[in-house]
Amino acid sequence: MERIAASSSRVFWTLRRKVAAGLFLLPIGLAADVAWELSRPRVVECHALPQPFAARRSSQQAVFTARVLLSGNLWPRSARPVPYGYPRDYWALAMVGEHYWGLPWWNRKIVLLTMYAQAESPLHRGEDFFVEGNHWPGGIARLLPIFELRCTRTCPLKNAEIDLQVLREGPPRSGVRILGYTYQRNSPGWQTVPNARVFLRANSSQISATSDQRGIYDLDGLPPGTYFVDRTDADGRIVPGILCGWGMLHSGDIRECDVPVP
């Protein structure tokens, strides 16, 4: 009888049935892992946005442009914040446009974007975005095209000219690159200002630049060193105060400093 039972067990668990059971359990495991990750509160702090980049920063990073197809809230407003952190609050289903790196080879068309709670969702349906996302840190859900946007350079595509320019041109061949927008604030946001002067101090010397018709100034091939971007008044004269400052920058470094025009 024992031999018959063992033989029946081997017949029952054939390779085909093992594969079928694995295929049945895989989506259940993926769904459970995604649900757990979405509901898990986490303390997320953004002290400063990352600087522009021209090469991949980590194996978790994905960079692409995308159009938002659907977006919404994951949880009711009354469900947050919890005492020890924030759950992911916003989601968006998006269609990929231009892909730079980080998407899985088997899916470079549709992605799911998530973001931790903030004042309001920046992910508006029908809008095009420049996306810097990060794969979820653990579990089998990291195999899916789901990307977290918190503390990245993700922004509407119309505001991503600097990011796209740096990506197209690649890392500086030599020296330091400093660039940014010259802009004025208006309601409800800001607008670029062309032909505006920008002043930098590099070690003991002063460097000036003028923004182009897009409102972007670009200083490339600067020698390594310490740099400061000065404030100016309505007449374009330098006034006390520093907009941006960096310690020792090395060849290949890229920094952005957006300069308000009085």
Residues contacting residue 145 through CB under 8 Å, at least 6 positions apart: 103, 104, 107, 110, 111, 112
In angstroms, the CA 163 to CA 153 distance is: 8
Amino acid at 188: P
Exposure string (b/e) for 14-42, b if CB count within 10 Å is 16 or more? eeeeeeeeeeeeeeeeeeebbeebbeebe
Q: Give me the residue label for tokens 């949880």.
A: 75
Q: What structural domains and CATH numbers belong to the chain?
A: 61-159 (2.40.50.120), 172-260 (2.60.40.1120)
How far, CA to CA in Å, does 64 sit from each of 48, 57, 157, 167? 22, 14, 10, 11
Q: What pLDDT score was predicted for residue 107?
A: 87
Tokens of 176: 């330091």
Contact assessment for residue 96 and residue 124, using Cβ atoms and an 8 Å cutoff: no
Q: pLDDT tens digits for the chain (262 residues)?
A: 444 444 444 555 576 766 666 555 556 655 665 665 666 666 566 767 789 999 999 989 999 999 999 988 776 655 555 554 556 678 899 999 999 999 988 889 999 998 876 656 678 899 999 999 998 766 666 778 889 888 899 999 999 999 999 999 988 888 999 999 999 988 777 899 999 999 999 877 889 999 999 999 999 999 999 999 988 877 777 788 889 999 899 999 999 999 998 8
Backbone torsions φ then ψ of 22, nearest 5 degrees: -65, -40
Assess whether the previous peptide bond of 156 is cis (omega < 30° from 0).
no
pTM: 0.81
Radius of gyration for the chain, computed over Cα atoms and rounded to the nearest angstrom: 25
